[in-house]
Amino acid sequence: MRRKVLSAMMILSLAAACLSGCGKKAAETEAKTTEAEKTTEAAAGDAKTTEAVTEAAGAEVTTEAKTTSSDNVIKVGVFEPLTGENGGGGVQEAQGATYANEQRPTVTIDGTEYTIELDVVDNKSDKTEAVTAAQKLVSDGCVAIIGTYGSGCAIAAGPTFADAKIPAIGCSCTNPQVTSGCEYYFRVCFLDPFQGSVMAQYAFDEGYTKVAVIDQLGDDYSTGLANFFIKKFTELGGEVVTEQQFQTNQSDFKAILTEVKASGAEAIFSPSSITTAPLLIKQARELGVEAPFMAGDTWYNTTIIDNASPAYTEGMVCSTFFDEADTSNEVTVNFVKGYKEWLNADSSRIESNGGNDSIVGNTALCFDTYNVICDAIEAAGSTDGEAIKTALQGISSEGVTGTITFDANGDAEKDTAYIDIVKDGAFEFLKTVTVQ
Amino acid sequence: MSASTFAQHFLTGISLGGAYALIAIGYTMVYGILRLINFAHGDIFMISGYFMIFAMASFPWYVAIPIVLLGTILLGVVIEKAAYRPLRSSPRMSVMISAIGVSYLLQNLATYLFTAIPKSYPEIPFLKIIFQFGGISASLVTLITPVLTVVLVIALMQLINHTKMGMAMRAVSKDTEASRLMGIKVDSTISMTFVIGSLLAGVGAILYFTDRMTVYPYSGSLPGLKCFVAAVLGGIGSIPGAVIGGFIIGICETFLVAFGYSTFSDAFTFLLLIVILLVRPTGLFGEAATDKV
């Protein structure tokens, strides 16, 4: 009897482990945003309030877009999650598109001026909703699509756009499958693994020769970055002295860090979630590991500094898509100035942006996406989806986040990423790193 | 592996094991008396972590710790009264489902109230003093955890073996009906079990989270399951068994990582559960059930 009960319990406990694992995963993927505060809140089950806020913002975006309609109109779809798990990031992107549309309301085809009207739909961060929303954009007669935040929805909607032969350009969806699985999908951001190469280049430039790598088992983001880092760093002539892996939900890294300490690494590359980061940092310092931490864009988040204490995070470096403090590019400077003014002109825009006027990478990427689409329409001299797609393949557009050209796959060919360092308890722009 | 690295791993292992042991006692005691796996125990542990965050926000640590322990005890007793007591005469499976329900309730309540963003656990200054001897570096809490665990367990054994309350507990665990006939207040004895279990979970939470610094709504689920395995390994119902089980799991996990098998450290724990159930279902120290029909 007792044995039977115990085995029943065992099954239940395993089931419970699986379920709780899933919950955690959702919380973690959501953390993969550049400016996660708002998004994480949405995912955290506080969805109600955020939904209300984002819905309001969505409505605003739509009405603004509609006032520009006239006879010679080209519709561009904005396919973003305005509500749900990724609502925060989606709204930030949609705002970037709205601003871009205000800056460049028309395109010229064969001497005729056409007004661009944004058609904003909400894919609700849901893969099923995403297909419905995509179908609506297709039936509305959009010639090109911007978005979406969250690779899952982009992958789900890809076939719909491909069937209708409408090109779509993602802003921040980093999963390789978005473009590799769909001929009509492009993207303007770099892929996750690229950051691994960038950080390897950075580490090498800094003069590190022995680096330890810590990555999360079964997490594509983490292992992807780690593998590219190891490959590039070894190519450059550095040595990865130890590679340690940890599991989702793990909170005790002492054993791993003891190994890192024993390996004599000069720096630690540990692409992982924001949940893991403060634990790693604090436990490392406690064990007397003094090597600086390096990571990808997920670590570009102030909650890490708050949780791990500023003293411990001093000198931590991470790569990111965009930094508003970068003054090396005139387009960027103008965009930052203009967008901040635009945000501050209306308090609801500030609220949708996450309560302040700092510009996240998603917004900048979405601004670029809009301009790439305009350039492509002008280059194609037509509103035909097939023609725009062909034009996109040969385009070279000077954007806020660097020069954008697409490879055969539809991925942006970028060679530059931004590196930020923690100084006095805040992220500070360090430099841009270009991979040879 | 050099001697200092080995010592460092060993220290990490027994410290982790100590925290596991404290939580495992909660499982084993409740099982001993109610024949119920209190699946909510890991989540009580997690909520206790949140209590500490709020208590430390307004009080110094020497006031905050008693408040947190009281809060945790209260939570444990309330759960018992609200979710388990009404089901006392129901089939055992119903109570267990209720326990799973409470577990999810607590997790989701925490997500709703505190969001899923990990919260920083407040630092109790003296626990974080870092000691260094030779190549080993550890904070005071790492050193204190196993010692405190052993002290608490000895105290608990005294309580159970040499007081009236302890005798009542042993009696209820042997035969609830008979002890009721003998004039033992079964309900208050069960409440007392939850008080002790929650108190130890509260102490465990302080030690565990001080060492690991962040609390989030799911931070109780995996340690909870591992401590359940520790309790089964030691022989569920047996307190020394739970403690030994906790230490075994803590040390094994740490050394698996040290030898480069970090991939398998969780799998190992659950594999251990399966093996022990197949080979020795009563655990290392469990008594064979003598069911007289």
A20 confidence band (pLDDT: 50, 70, 90): low
* CB contact set of A14 (below 8 Å; sequence gap of 6+): B270
CA B266 → CA A32, B37, B226, B270, B272, distances in Å? 25, 20, 8, 7, 10
Q: Tell me which residue in B218, B236, B277 faces A20 most closely, judged by beta carbons.
A: B218
Distance from CA of A333 to the nearest CA of B (A): 33
Residue A283's nearest CA partner among A301, A256, A316 is A256
So what's the pLDDT on residue B34?
A: 87
Distance from CA of A334 to the nearest CA of B (A): 34
Backbone angles phi, psi at B181, to 5 degrees: -65, -30
Q: Which site among A7, A11, A13 would you substitute to test the B interface, given the most B Cβ atoms closer than 10 Å to its Cβ?
A: A13
A1 confidence band (pLDDT: 50, 70, 90): low
Q: Which site among B39, B104, B213, B277 would you substitute to test the A interface, given the most A Cβ atoms closer than 10 Å to its Cβ?
A: B213
Do residues A13 and B225 lie in contact, with contact meaning Cβ atoms separated by under 8 Å?
Answer: yes
**DSSP code per residue over B135-167:** TEEEEHHHHHHHHHHHHHHHHHHHHHHHSHHHH
Architecture of domain A36-190+330-405: 3-Layer(aba) Sandwich (3.40)
Distance from CA of A307 to the nearest CA of B (A): 5
| Rounded to 5°, angle at Cα A363 from A85 and A86 | 5
Q: What SS3 state is found at A317?
A: strand
Asked if A256 lies within 8 A of B262 by C-beta distance, the reply is yes
Asked if A262 lies within 8 A of B219 by C-beta distance, the reply is no
Interatomic CA distance for residues A251 and B19, integer angstroms: 13
Q: Establish whether this prediction's ipTM goes over 0.85.
A: no
How does DSSP classify residue A124? T
What is the pLDDT averaged over residues A245-272? 87
A47 confidence band (pLDDT: 50, 70, 90): very low
So what's the pLDDT on residue A6?
A: 64
Q: Which site among B117, B123, B273, B280 would you substitute to test the A interface, given the most A Cβ atoms closer than 10 Å to its Cβ?
A: B117
Q: Taking CB atoms and an 8 Å cutoff, what residues of chain B touch A274?
A: 117-118
Q: What percent of chain B has pLDDT over 90?
A: 61
Tell me which of A239-253, B36-50, B67-81 is least confident.
A239-253
Q: Which site among B236, B262, B277, B282 would you substitute to test the A interface, given the most A Cβ atoms closer than 10 Å to its Cβ?
A: B262
Greater confidence (A219 vs A364) lies with: A364
What is the pLDDT averaged over residues A275-279? 83
Q: Which two tokens stand for residue A210?
A: 């022995």
Q: Which residues pair with A404 in a beta bridge?
A: A397
Q: Tell me which residue in A45, A255, A275 faces B258 most closely, judged by beta carbons.
A: A255
Bridge pairing between strands A168-170 and A144-146: parallel
Interatomic CA distance for residues B38 and B32, integer angstroms: 11
So what's the pLDDT on residue A50?
A: 44
How buried is residue A338: exposed, middle or buried, by Cβ count under 10 Å (0-12/13-18/19+)? middle
B201 confidence band (pLDDT: 50, 70, 90): very high
**DSSP code per residue over B34-48:** HS---TTHHHHHHHH
E-state strands within A39-105: 73-80
pLDDT tens-digit series, residues A395-418: 988 888 888 889 888 888 887 788
Q: Using CA coordinates, name the residue in chain A closest to B228.
A: A13
Please give the model's pTM, rounded to 2 decimal places.
0.67
Greater confidence (B198 vs A83) lies with: B198
Greater confidence (A86 vs B235) lies with: B235
Asked if B281 lies within 8 A of A6 by C-beta distance, the reply is yes
Q: Using CA coordinates, name the residue in chain A closest to B3.
A: A262
Q: Tell me which residue in B12, B137, B289 faces A255 most closely, judged by beta carbons.
A: B12
Asked if B218 lies within 8 A of A251 by C-beta distance, the reply is no
Distance from CA of A256 to the nearest CA of B (A): 7
Residue B84's nearest CA partner among A92, A59, A295, B76 is B76
Interatomic CA distance for residues B227 and B233, integer angstroms: 9
CB-based contact, B218 to chain A, within 8 Å: yes
Sorted by where each begins, the domain ranges of chain B are 15-219
Interatomic CA distance for residues A66 and B224, integer angstroms: 54
Q: Taking CB atoms and an 8 Å cutoff, what residues of chain B touch A41?
A: 115, 117
| pLDDT reading at A65 higher than 70 | no
Greater confidence (A250 vs A222) lies with: A222
pLDDT tens-digit series, residues A154-197: 989 999 999 999 999 998 887 788 888 888 999 998 877 788 88
Whole-number average pLDDT of chain A: 81
Q: Taking CB atoms and an 8 Å cutoff, what residues of chain B touch A252?
A: 12, 16, 211-212
So what's the pLDDT on residue A34?
A: 40
User: What stretch of H or E contains A423?
Assistant: strand A416-423
Please list the alpha-helical segments (H only) found in chain B: 3-34, 41-58, 61-79, 92-114, 140-162, 164-174, 176-181, 186-212, 221-234, 239-258, 265-279
Q: Which of 256-275 (B) contact A at CB < 8 A?
A: 257-258, 260, 262-263, 265-266, 270, 273-274
| pLDDT reading at A328 higher than 50 | yes
Sorted by where each begins, the domain ranges of chain A are 2-32, 36-190+330-405, 193-320+418-434
Distance from CA of B37 to the nearest CA of A (A): 8
Distance from CA of B142 to the nearest CA of A (A): 10
Asked if B118 lies within 8 A of A307 by C-beta distance, the reply is yes
| pLDDT reading at B104 higher than 90 | yes
Residue A381's nearest CA partner among A111, A115, A161, A118 is A111
Interatomic CA distance for residues A102 and A116, integer angstroms: 10
Distance from CA of B219 to the nearest CA of A (A): 8
Asked if A251 lies within 8 A of B115 by C-beta distance, the reply is no
Asked if A217 lies within 8 A of B281 by C-beta distance, the reply is no
Q: Please write down the long-range contacts of B77-82, taking CB distance under 8 Å and 24 or more positions apart.
A: B77/B191, B77/B194, B77/B195, B77/B198, B79/B40, B79/B44, B79/B194, B80/B190, B80/B191, B80/B194, B81/B191
Residue A365's nearest CA partner among A89, A102, A175 is A89
Pick the CATH number of A193-320+418-434 from 3.40.50.2300, 3.40.50.300, 1.20.120.530, 3.40.250.10: 3.40.50.2300
Asked if B216 lies within 8 A of A27 by C-beta distance, the reply is yes
By residue count, chain B amounts to 293
Q: Tell me which residue in A254, A262, A308 faces B2 most closely, judged by beta carbons.
A: A262
Rounded to a whole number of angstroms, the CA Rg of chain A reads 22
So what's the pLDDT on residue B288?
A: 62
| pLDDT reading at B262 higher than 80 | no
E-state strands within A317-415: 317-320, 396-399, 402-405
So what's the pLDDT on residue B291?
A: 56
Q: Using CA coordinates, name the residue in chain A closest to B138.
A: A287
By residue count, chain A amounts to 436
Residue A77's nearest CA partner among A366, A362, A353 is A366
For the four alpha carbons of A335, A338, A342 and A344, in that order, the dihedral sign comes to positive
E-state strands within A29-124: 73-80, 106-109, 112-122
pLDDT tens-digit series, residues A205-231: 999 999 999 998 877 788 888 999 999
So what's the pLDDT on residue B162?
A: 94
Distance from CA of A180 to the nearest CA of B (A): 30
Asked if B119 lies within 8 A of A262 by C-beta distance, the reply is no
Cα distance between the two ends of chain A: 67
Q: Taking CB atoms and an 8 Å cutoff, what residues of chain A touch B108?
A: 45
Distance from CA of A325 to the nearest CA of B (A): 27
Asked if A251 lies within 8 A of B212 by C-beta distance, the reply is yes
Distance from CA of B49 to the nearest CA of A (A): 14
Q: What percent of chain A has pLDDT over 90?
A: 33
Interatomic CA distance for residues A43 and A347, integer angstroms: 24
How does DSSP classify residue B4? H
pLDDT tens-digit series, residues A285-295: 888 888 999 99
So what's the pLDDT on residue B21?
A: 95
Q: Taking CB atoms and an 8 Å cutoff, what residues of chain A touch B258?
A: 255, 258-259
Q: Taking CB atoms and an 8 Å cutoff, what residues of chain B touch A247?
A: 262-263, 265-266
Q: Using CA coordinates, name the residue in chain B closest to A25.
A: B218
Q: Which two tokens stand for residue A82?
A: 């305005």
A23 confidence band (pLDDT: 50, 70, 90): very low
**Number of other CB atoms surrounding residue A210 within 10 Å:** 15
Q: Using CA coordinates, name the residue in chain A closest to B92.
A: A5
CB-based contact, B279 to chain A, within 8 Å: no
Greater confidence (A55 vs B124) lies with: B124
What is the pLDDT averaged over residues A295-314? 83
Interatomic CA distance for residues A45 and B104, integer angstroms: 14
CB-based contact, B140 to chain A, within 8 Å: no
Q: What percent of chain B has pLDDT over 70?
A: 97
Bridge pairing between strands A168-170 and A185-187: parallel
How buried is residue B68: exposed, middle or buried, by Cβ count under 10 Å (0-12/13-18/19+)? buried
Asked if B291 lies within 8 A of A1 by C-beta distance, the reply is yes
Asked if A17 lies within 8 A of B108 by C-beta distance, the reply is no
Asked if B221 lies within 8 A of A249 by C-beta distance, the reply is yes
